[in-house]
Amino acid sequence: MVKDTIKQPPTLPKTEGELMEIRNKVVSNPFHTTKKEPTVISMTDGVLIPKKGNKHLVTSWRLTFFGAVVVLVCLCVFDPDTYWKIFKYTITGIPTTFECTIFAILGAVLIGTITGVGSSSKNRVVNQICGIYVELIRGIPLLVQLMFLYYALGSLIHIEGIVAAIIALSICFGAYMGEIIRAGIQSIPKGQVEAATALGLSKSQTFFSVILPQTIKVVLPAIGNEFISMLKDSSLVSILALSDILKRGREYISRTFLSLQTMLVVALIYLILTLILSRLVGFMEERLHKNG
């Protein structure tokens, strides 16, 4: 005759020593893992935008900016025959640099907005077209795009150097801007759209009145960094014979063979310009968030 066995409940630890022994076994178990929040690392090609709350960035910005200004002024004052002449010659390329950058960033924002909206669209065809554009453009270097547009297509269609530079920069940065806009649109809670629909707003009214204003606040720092990156990358347009800052510096080197001194001045000019722009973008962001 088989007797039924009754399972005894597990005995609880009676002493503090037994409790510590069980705890050590759990902690030493290699399969016992705790979930941790993923660490997000933000990377950007542009200059970090200094904010009032981040004392480290503000202090670093001040030291770098005023250090660059002091070095440039000292070079021009103590050796005017060399550095002052270089400075006067190279700064004549600033209008061309800003002309390319400003018009190109406007074009990039326009292309990026269309691409970002298309990437967020539920239409599969539109979504795929925008995705192919982004992957295609991001996979080709900007220098290659400039040469292809000006030299390759230039043999079939006459394109001015400044126009080719603006188009190439707009197309290239429009792909990156599209991803920024797409991420900004997707960051808006769906409840905002549902509330707008409940109020009787159409899709276009919902986008321009509800989604777009909130998206601008989200993507403004990233757009500012892209603008600064474009300012630096605009130096590549010198291969199109445009008289930007780098082109003027190369012209001066070909005349005087002062390559070290000229490139030092060019580097300081670009550094000062990018730092000024980064501070202006920081002020714009703070003012936008302050005013809501």
Compute the distance between CA of residue 221 and CA of residue 240 in angstroms, rounded to an integer.
30
Q: Domain for residue 118, yes or no?
A: yes
What are 137-147's pLDDT values in tens digits? Answer: 999 999 999 98
User: Residue 89 sits in which domain range?
Assistant: 55-291
Alpha-carbon distance values, 155 to 147, 152, 158, 160, 237 (Å): 12, 6, 7, 12, 18
Q: pLDDT (tens digit, 9 = 90+) per residue, 178-228? A: 999 988 888 888 888 788 888 888 877 888 888 888 888 888 888 888 888
Confidence at residue 106, expressed as pLDDT on a 0 to 100 scale: 93
pLDDT of 40 > 50? The answer is no
Confidence of residue 29 (pLDDT cuts 50, 70, 90): very low
Q: Label residues 163-192 b or e (16+ Cβ within 10 Å = b).
A: ebbbbbbbbbbbbbbbbbbbbbbeebeeee
**What pLDDT score was predicted for residue 111?**
94
CA 21 to CA 25: how far, in whole Å?
Answer: 6
CATH number of 133's domain: 1.10.3720.10
| Of 254 and 6, the one with more pLDDT | 254
pLDDT higher than threshold 60 for residue 249: yes
The band of 49, judged by pLDDT with boundaries at 50, 70 and 90, is low
CB burial of residue 82 (10 Å; 0-12, 13-18, 19+): middle
In a domain, 83, yes or no: yes
Q: Is residue 16 in a domain?
A: no
What pLDDT shows up at residue 52? 62
Question: Is 49 a domain residue?
Answer: no
What is the number of helices (H) and of strands (E) in the chain? 12, 0
Determine the pLDDT at residue 44.
Answer: 52
pLDDT at position 220, please?
A: 82
Tell whether 133 is covered by a domain. yes
pLDDT one-digit tens code per residue, 70-105: 999 999 999 999 999 999 999 999 999 999 999 999
In the prediction, which pLDDT does 71 show?
A: 95
**Domain contains 40:** no
Assign 241 a pLDDT band (cuts: 50, 70, 90): confident
**Percentage above 70 pLDDT, the chain:** 79
pLDDT greater at residue 11 or residue 274: 274
Asked if residue 5 belongs to a domain, the reply is no
User: Regarding predicted confidence, which is higher, 244 or 220?
Assistant: 244
Look at residues 291, 271, 287, 292 and name the one whose alpha carbon lies nearest to residue 51.
Answer: 287
Q: How far apart are CA 220 and CA 282, in angstroms?
A: 10
Percentage of the chain lying above the pLDDT 90 cut: 38
Could you give the number of structural domains in the chain? 1
**pLDDT at 286 > cutoff 60:** yes
